[in-house]
Amino acid sequence: MEENNQTAENLFEQRTDLDDLRQAVDQLKGEIGKVIVGQEEMIELLLAGILADGHILIEGVPGVAKTLTAKLLSRVISVGFSRIQFTPDLMPSDVIGTSVFNPRDNNFQFKHGPIFSNIVLIDEINRAPAKTQSALFEVMEERQITVDGLTYHLQPPFMVVATQNPIEQEGTYHLPEAQLDRFLFKIRVQYPTPAEEFHIVSNHHRMKGDQRIDTVDAVIPGARIQQLRDKVRGLHIEEKLIQFITAIVGATRNHKAIYLGASPRASIGILNAAKALSAMRGRDFVTPEDIVYITPAVLRHRLVLTPEREMEGTTADDIIAEIVKSIEVPR
């Protein structure tokens, strides 16, 4: 009997030491919390995106701290940061760089654009035309830029954090499905609660309008992010949970309300994000709850609903919830 108990204890023994990862996450949350009030889900998904090595699209109305939060990420992690304000007249060369003739050496030299950084904030990504948006395809997927037949590799960690306003339509361009698919998450930022808004306004009054972002310190070096990512990749997931993920994504391709379903890239995204979330919660194995929690953020921007369902006011989140509920959760 005693032997059986010891065996059971060994089965649930932590296989991966996650103390340093939990400590890093707590430090990051603590620094971001100096400025951002509430928005716990957004912060948790942002940190999961960093650990899962994914790009993030943040959507919300003006004034809900989308840009501020992205800037804070660059302050709490000691890595390079650049910001690109997308506008209708922005050219691809304004993003990736261009070859400039050097008369002294009598040749062309490539001048790096702002995309050559670690955390790149793209503000109002849907304000640039398709040809400028397409400049991001290669770098977001392969972490490299090809110009004039030469390939330039970006130094890790590399992450694009983009923002967009869901309400404004004038002067905006719809993001192609191919580009949306390269974002791991689409995070929807909601209005703060009355209590949170009171806290925000009170802080602003107490600080006399000063920027509180200056109080935030860098707590994690870029090299450590890479180490934490390697640890997350090694986390355990049972085969039946992988089947659960593929069943959810597969159901999006056969649902009568969906015109375009999710690709295998979405399945891999759910897998990586669920691993990151489980590690943040102190576990070295993925649970069904991790998958259910992370699935809407991974899928909502990858689905195209039929025009009939869109006219009825149905959202992608509604369909995702319906799909997840229809599939038996493995235990």
Coil/strand/helix, residue 94: helix
On whether both 198 and 57 belong to a single domain, the answer is yes
> Looking at the predicted structure, is the pLDDT value of residue 14 above 60?
no
On whether both 190 and 272 belong to a single domain, the answer is no
**What are the tens digits of pLDDT across the range 165-212?**
887 666 688 888 888 999 999 999 888 888 888 888 887 777 766 666
Of 178, 198, 227, which closes a domain?
227
Q: Residue 12: pLDDT band by 50, 70, 90 thresholds?
A: very low
Q: What is the CATH number of the domain that holds 204?
A: 3.40.50.300
On whether both 87 and 196 belong to a single domain, the answer is yes
Which is more confident, 209 or 17? 17
Of 183, 204, 227, which closes a domain?
227
On whether both 242 and 185 belong to a single domain, the answer is no
pTM score over 0.75:
yes
On whether both 270 and 130 belong to a single domain, the answer is no
* Range with top average pLDDT, 24-28, 177-181, 321-325: 321-325
Domain with 310 in it: 235-331
- Whether 1 is covered by a domain: the verdict is no
On whether both 110 and 20 belong to a single domain, the answer is yes
Decide: 284 and 278 in contact? Cβ < 8 Å. Answer: yes
Q: How many domains does the chain have?
A: 2
Pairing of strands 97-102, 81-85: unpaired
- Whether 6 is covered by a domain: the verdict is no
Q: What is the CATH number of the domain that holds 305?
A: 1.10.8.80
Sheet holding 159-164, edge to edge: 81-85, 119-123, 159-164, 55-59, 183-188
On whether both 33 and 179 belong to a single domain, the answer is yes
On whether both 115 and 259 belong to a single domain, the answer is no
On whether both 182 and 296 belong to a single domain, the answer is no
Decide: 145 and 154 in contact? Cβ < 8 Å. Answer: yes
User: Which ranges of the chain does DSSP label H, i.e. alpha helix?
Assistant: 2-11, 19-32, 40-51, 66-76, 92-96, 130-133, 137-142, 177-180, 194-206, 222-233, 239-251, 264-280, 288-299, 307-311, 316-326
- Whether 305 is covered by a domain: the verdict is yes
Which is more confident, 314 or 7? 314
**What are the tens digits of pLDDT across the range 284-316?**
899 999 999 999 999 999 999 999 998 998 999
- Whether 7 is covered by a domain: the verdict is no
Give me the DSSP letters along 27-58. HHHHHHTTT--S-HHHHHHHHHHHHTT-EEEE
**What are the tens digits of pLDDT across the range 70-122?**
888 888 888 889 999 999 999 999 999 988 888 887 788 889 999 999 999 99
On whether both 28 and 176 belong to a single domain, the answer is yes
Decide: 73 and 113 in contact? Cβ < 8 Å. Answer: no
On whether both 243 and 181 belong to a single domain, the answer is no
> Looking at the predicted structure, is the pLDDT value of residue 31 above 90?
no
